[in-house]
Amino acid sequence: MLLTLRIISIDVAVETTSDQQSMSGGTDNQLSRVASSHGALDMSIDALEKLSFDEDSALDSTSELGSQGAIPDSEELIDWDALQATEGDPLADDFLQQAVQNGAFQSHLANDASIHDELVLPFARRRLVPSELTAADFQRCVEPWALSSIEAWLREIGEGEPDLKAKMIDEALVLLFTNKVPTIKVADAETLSHHVLALLHQHGVLVPDEEWVKFEEGRVSGVLWQMTGSGCYAPRVHDAQTDVLCYSYYCDQNIEKLDLDRLLTSYSGLDWVNFYRLKREDLENVPKKEVHRQNILHEIVASEENYIRQLHIFDAQYQEQIRVHQPPIVAPEKKDHFLETVFGKFHTIQDLNQNLLLAQLKHRQQKQGPWISGFSDLFREWIRKAQPIYTEYAATYPLAVWMMRTECDTNLLFRHFLKSQVNNRVRLDWDHYLISPIQRIQRYVLLLEAVECKTVQESEEKLNLRRAIAEIKAVLLLCDTEMDAMNKKVVLMDLKRKLVLRPGFPGTLNLGHANRELVFQGDVITWSSNALTTRQLPARCLLFDHYLLLAKELVPKYDGGEKKLDVSKEPIPLYLLSLEIVHDSVSQWQNAGEHIYKFKIKHLGHRTYTLGTFSAKERDEWVNKIIQAKVKHAEVLYSQRSEPFRLRVLSDFIAGRGSPDSVLIRGTPLSRALQEPQGLSNMVHPLPDPGVQINCSTDFTVSGKHVFVIGTDSGVRVFYDLNPRVDKIVLEIPRVTQIAVLEELSICVLITDKTLVYCPLQEIVNELMSLSGDKKPQITQHRVSKDVTYFATAKMKDRMLLFYKRKELLRTSFKVIELGSFESSETKSRLFARRTSKGHGSVFREYDEFTFAQECYSLSLFQTYIAGATAKGMELLTLDKKQPFSVPPLNHPETANITNRIRGQRPLGMFTLNSNEFIIPYETVALYIDKHGDISRSVILGYAGKQAAQDATMYEKYLLLFYDDYVEIREAENGWLRQIIPGQDIRVLDHGVRGPRSDISLNPSGVASTSNSNGGSRGTVKIAMSNPKVSGNKIVLELLLDDRRQE
């Protein structure tokens, strides 16, 4: 009969509080009294049935009790009078005792709140992570020598693992064996675990399930004699610590302690035959390969003794001498750090090889010689403990060598000490001893491979030998990796000490930063020119992952002095480094008549350098290394999403003048734009026409499609956004220098050959959609004025106004025209009117005019003020007063240092930052002013290059500066450099919605927005540059904010 005891509680995995423990303790005491009483079995069953109910009723009862506001104690739910009647009944006593042990009478509901606070969750399955097994887990396997006990232990720890793999069980078994028998060798534990795992598969305990395994109903039994006792089947020998060794050959405690100090002093250096005093008749019946094998095994032991002796010599003759020498050889303040870095790992390696390898080799040599079975198990055991130590030593070795050489170069006393040690009985230089651990681990691989080659029969020793070789090679590979990483750091440390930067160079090299890398370095030839001659000078070129440096070596003033590298040219950041296509340019070296192979690099915003090498191979290597560094740099920028703008190719059907070719770097925004489906991959390239120049661009929307308009020297070209192949000339007019589309008035305003005209937009759209390509475009042109340099449009005072510039003799005059649609009766003062089909006229009506006393380069229009970029500076006026005044004022003494920087520079515009600040970019700097026109910040914004910027605009929060060979993008609020877009023959076609001379309107906050209120025009910035894939051709690009960027 199945009897169930349940208390009104929910079984959850929580700790029992002290109150619950005291309550359960009281319950247990009463139950024990009940168990000692006697009564009838029927009454005990009746009493227990009162406590029996299913889970649903338990939850319902819990809810009912909770709703009543009090939960009775567990003792109140038991009828003790009924239970006392069962006193003396054996069956009832056993039943109640088992129920108490199983915790059936423990209540977890101390109060009403606990019902709702504690969650009823299923028990989580335990994941098997071998590395996280604890001593308590290993103690569950009481009989590790019995396969049945190991099977039960594995089922207990592994059945909860959903992704159980054979490797996980293998690792768990190794940890179990090494925990139960601490003296067992790890290699033996791995072999034993492989054997047990094979037995589990053989007897059906483990069954493969794709790449995993699962437990089945199979059973396994047997005894592992290696795990009996304390790792020996005769454990009585180990009851007391004695010098007597165990008689069992396989006992892990059968290790004799040798006097290694005596062995090292009595090193004989004899070969195998003489060491064992073998005679010719001893070798007659032995195979030749076996004789060679024994010679190699003997060489392993002899060379290991010699290796340990060298470690002792280096420690005694170098480290101890430096430590105790008086006067101090190394400065006292850095002696401890020097000794720890150079010699600190030597003690660990010395103890490791002397106690864990040489002692075992000598022990086996004495027990088995002259015919030794092998050393594979010893090396497998040793390499596991040697891996972290040798890897750490390899990581510090390059630094130790560098510190020794640096101290030798700068410390005369230390240099004399090293020379005296070489002349002493040591006879070997310090670098021989320092590299000996690295060479020794390489020597192990060669010796063991030679032993394997001479081992004829396939045996467990040969299999273990292959494993030992593979394990040592793996450690050697780790050592090489660590040494390579540290070598790169040491090279940077050495360069950081040697490089001398001249004062005034902006920025720092930061050679100590993590992941900094020296990509390439070498000697090149540079050309230095003056008014009379051109000289060829040798130089040292250093290519880092962030800079390229040109330096020259400084000769020390005295013998033995430290060499320095003078960085005579300003460091070139990789984002400002441009590489031109290499042609076969060869010249003669002025001193020896050798050929010099040239290539050019350009520091954007600064100057171009011509470099040369003495072979074409060296030049190609330099070019490839620079390209690789720039590609990697571009990939990092793209992966970090640090570039705010991406490029989009609009058209390359525009022919243009040729320009010097530059190398297109893969991964840059330009390269990605050219590889996009709408890029240049599938376009047909026309023959270049040197007579065509691209001057301006704009865009508008027709039926939800974007249409781009480009003005050139030969006319106006129009094409759809999604089909740049449809490139059609709609106006054949000369020298279109500026163009704008006013969608509200359905007109296109442009300047052709210094004449301001406008055309109906609908006629342009009809011509674009026309299928006839042979007929000459017929679009009506209406002239507004002549001798016009540029114009600007904006909404001011609820009027759409057009400002156009007319150059007069000594001043610049502007005409202001109001644009709109008016009734015929309202056009008395109009200048121009064109009747439409609805009886209305699209009118250009004269509104106002004003003048500047100096040449004005551009206009920036705001709600009330008009800002003109003049030769005098930035001048503001209103249409009401027309009295220009300069901003910022240049006569304040507290801002004299700032105003001196901008004096004589041409302003490139004025842009709104926020409701209180504006930014004015000049040719080389930019400054901030407040709404009163005064300088608002004590710092100025400097540019990346020294050359003057040609143009500037703002898009969103970014300030864009345009040069002939790159576009510089900065965050206007803080001046941080965000992006550099290199190119050739760059020209601004459209300044965007916030640029000067743009089609803009201003919202109440003073920030520019597109003139088309329904969002028809995107108002993006558009540029033209030389096509890097087609020589002499042009491409038109649009700058779009990258959606991937995360601020």
Which of 2-6, 471-475, 985-989 is predicted with the least confidence, judged by mean pLDDT?
Answer: 2-6
The tens digit of pLDDT for each residue in 711-751 reads 988 889 888 765 655 567 888 899 999 999 988 888 999 99
Which of 17-21, 259-263, 610-614, 649-653 is predicted with the least confidence, judged by mean pLDDT?
Answer: 17-21
Mean pLDDT of 808-821: 84
For a pLDDT cut of 70, what percent of the chain falls above it? 73
Which of 111-115, 166-170, 534-538, 941-945 is predicted with the least confidence, judged by mean pLDDT?
Answer: 111-115
The tens digit of pLDDT for each residue in 790-806 reads 999 988 888 889 999 98
pLDDT for residue 483: 93
Residue 918: other Cβ atoms inside 10 A? 24
pLDDT for 659 beyond 70: no
- The confidence band for 234, taking pLDDT boundaries of 50, 70 and 90, is low
Mean pLDDT of 293-311: 91
For a pLDDT cut of 90, what percent of the chain falls above it? 34
Q: Which residues contact 280 (CB under 8 A, 6 or more apart)?
A: none
pLDDT for residue 726: 58
Structure tokens at 921: 């970019």
Whether 524 and 612 have beta carbons less than 8 Å apart is answered as yes
Helix (H) / strand (E) element for 402: namely helix 376-410
Whether 77 and 51 have beta carbons less than 8 Å apart is answered as yes
* Coil, strand or helix at 200: helix
User: Which DSSP letter does residue 887 get?
Assistant: E
Angstrom distance (rounded) from CA 337 to CA 689: 70
pLDDT for residue 435: 92
One-letter amino acid of 391: T
Helix (H) / strand (E) element for 920: namely strand 917-921
Angstrom distance (rounded) from CA 23 to CA 27: 6
pLDDT for 116 beyond 50: no
Which of 1-10, 187-196, 363-372, 935-944 is predicted with the least confidence, judged by mean pLDDT?
Answer: 1-10
pLDDT for residue 590: 58
DSSP-H helix ranges across 511-555: none
Mean pLDDT of 387-411: 91
* Coil, strand or helix at 536: strand
DSSP-H helix ranges across 411-459: 412-423, 430-454
Angstrom distance (rounded) from CA 935 to CA 898: 9
The tens digit of pLDDT for each residue in 1007-1028 reads 443 333 333 456 899 999 988 8
pLDDT for residue 70: 39
Angstrom distance (rounded) from CA 647 to CA 590: 46
Angstrom distance (rounded) from CA 156 to CA 223: 20
pLDDT for residue 570: 92
Structure tokens at 470: 């593979």
Mean pLDDT of 674-701: 68
pLDDT for residue 22: 41
Helix, strand, coil share of the chain (percent; to 5): 35, 25, 40
- The confidence band for 770, taking pLDDT boundaries of 50, 70 and 90, is confident
pLDDT for residue 983: 92
Whether 168 and 159 have beta carbons less than 8 Å apart is answered as no
Mean pLDDT of 669-675: 91
Structure tokens at 116: 């709702």
> Residue by residue, what is the 3-state secondary structure of 706-734?
EEEEEEECCEEEEEECCCCCCCEEEECCC
Question: Where do the domains of the chain lie, and which CATH numbers do they carry?
Answer: 18-117 (no CATH), 130-227 (no CATH), 260-490 (1.20.900.10), 504-639 (2.30.29.30), 646-1041 (2.130.10.10)
* Coil, strand or helix at 686: coil
pLDDT for residue 679: 56
Q: Which residue has the higher pLDDT, 752 or 36?
A: 752
- The confidence band for 947, taking pLDDT boundaries of 50, 70 and 90, is very high
pLDDT for 934 beyond 80: yes
pLDDT for residue 981: 96
pLDDT for residue 737: 94
pLDDT for 568 beyond 80: yes
- The confidence band for 163, taking pLDDT boundaries of 50, 70 and 90, is confident
The tens digit of pLDDT for each residue in 472-481 reads 999 999 999 9
The tens digit of pLDDT for each residue in 995-1004 reads 665 544 444 3
CA 605 to chain centre: 29
The tens digit of pLDDT for each residue in 870-912 reads 988 999 999 988 899 999 988 888 888 888 889 889 999 999 9
Evaluate the omega torsion of the peptide bond into residue 996 and state whether it is cis, within 30 degrees of 0: no
pLDDT for residue 254: 55
Q: Which residue has the higher pLDDT, 430 or 70?
A: 430
Q: How far is CA 518 from CA 478, 495, 545, 625, 771, in A?
A: 22, 10, 6, 11, 59
* Coil, strand or helix at 628: helix
Angstrom distance (rounded) from CA 901 to CA 395: 51
CA-based end-to-end distance of the chain = 71
pLDDT for residue 851: 92
- The confidence band for 76, taking pLDDT boundaries of 50, 70 and 90, is very low
Which of 21-30, 419-428, 458-467, 886-895 is predicted with the least confidence, judged by mean pLDDT?
Answer: 21-30
Q: Which residue has the higher pLDDT, 53 or 178?
A: 178
Angstrom distance (rounded) from CA 961 to CA 943: 9
Considering 128-142, 975-989, 1023-1037, the range whose residues carry the highest mean pLDDT is 975-989
The closest of 712, 657, 653, 680 to 1031, measured between CA atoms, is 657
pLDDT for 462 beyond 60: yes
pLDDT for residue 1014: 37
pLDDT for 519 beyond 70: yes
Kindly write down the DSSP assignment for every residue of 986-1045, as one continuous string.
Answer: -EEEE--TTSTT-EEEE-TTS-EEES-TTS-----EEEEEE-SSSTTBEEEEEEEE-TT-
Structure tokens at 740: 């704008």
Longest dimension (CA), the chain: 136
pLDDT for residue 247: 58
Angstrom distance (rounded) from CA 907 to CA 926: 9
- The confidence band for 65, taking pLDDT boundaries of 50, 70 and 90, is very low
The tens digit of pLDDT for each residue in 342-394 reads 988 888 899 899 988 998 898 888 888 799 989 998 999 899 889 999 999 99
Angstrom distance (rounded) from CA 485 to CA 514: 11
Which of 143-157, 246-260, 842-856 is predicted with the least confidence, judged by mean pLDDT?
Answer: 246-260
pLDDT for residue 930: 94
Angstrom distance (rounded) from CA 215 to CA 380: 32
The tens digit of pLDDT for each residue in 235-273 reads 555 555 555 566 565 665 555 555 566 655 555 678 888
Q: How far is CA 882 from CA 140, 618, 865, 866, 998, in A?
A: 96, 65, 10, 9, 22
